[in-house]
Amino acid sequence: MNKALKWLGIITTIAMLFVLIGGALVTKTGSGMGCGRSWPLCHGSIFPELTLESIIEWSHRFVSGTSGILVLALAIWSWKKIGHIRETKFLAVMSVVFLILQALLGAAAVVFGSSALIMALHFGISLISFASVLLLTLLIFEADSNEKSESFHIGKTMRFHMTGIIVYTYIVVYTGAYVRHTESSLACLDFPMCSRVKGWAPSQFHEWVQMGHRAAAFLLFAWIIIAAVHAARHYKNQKRIYWGWMISVILIILQAVSGILVVLTRLQLSLALAHAFFISCLFGVFCYFLLLASRYRHQSKTKH
């Protein structure tokens, strides 16, 4: 396989991670209106007057635009080189379509304004584009190995975990983005309770948003541990499944710790960005699980 295509896949995947982290940085620093109501220009100019907010917003737009070119190049090149692989064309289309949707949603928010409910989708849509690029890159590397051709078995319980957990993770991601866009990150200043004085129970909207996200995240944590134990018991000989779940456990622990520290440090920026990074990686792992489940279903159908 062309080495240049592999490098393009790696660079594009990293670029999409920067788009996700950059979006989180824009939100966390309140830089969404750093360029005013102007798009794609910044305050109507290519070289605007520089403030911290305009630099952050303008940089995010630049990275997103550059990533868009890379994603389009990767999609076209992959289509030509490994279009014979069943998942390639679907992932190529997904990566481009969801990147365009993400850009349009971001532009609309700047020009017309948008509600927190809609803006919370912005991160989720970017996440799908990132996952599509990641899987496309994995396909490129798989094309040079014999991993894809290896037969494997995924039982009914594991298929439930693989397909169910990605849907639930997306819901949890949405609640986290909603926390950011409703400015509810510090609605509850303690952990695990909302307040040591008032107790765990929320008393107003922003506290409900924060505690709702914590409850959803706790259930995700528990689900991952249960699925990982199942993988350790029954899938130790299938390295992709076994190690995928072990990596998921590490990522969800890092995700939980960073989330707790975000609250206890009163929104320390590097921790907030780490929180976005870990969930992006975790979602990528779960998308790979979904790919494996889809392959197994296809493999089972072709045998009958």
Mind telling me the catalytic residues? 57
Tell me which residue of 69, 171, 55 sits closest to 123, measured CA to CA. 171
- DSSP H or E stretch at residue 26: helix 3-28
Whether residue 213 is annotated as binding a ligand: the answer is: yes
195 three-state secondary structure: strand
For 195, phi then psi, to 5°, come to: -150, 135
What is the number of other CB atoms lying within 10 angstroms of the CB of residue 274?
20
* CA quadruple 40, 44, 45, 51: dihedral sign: negative
**3-state SS class at 152:** coil
CA atoms within 13 A on the CB side of 121: 14
Query: Binding residue per annotation — 275?
Result: yes
- Residue 86 has a CB neighbour count (10 Å cut-off) of 12
Residue numbers in the known binding site for heme are 213, 275
Indicate the annotated binding residues.
213, 275
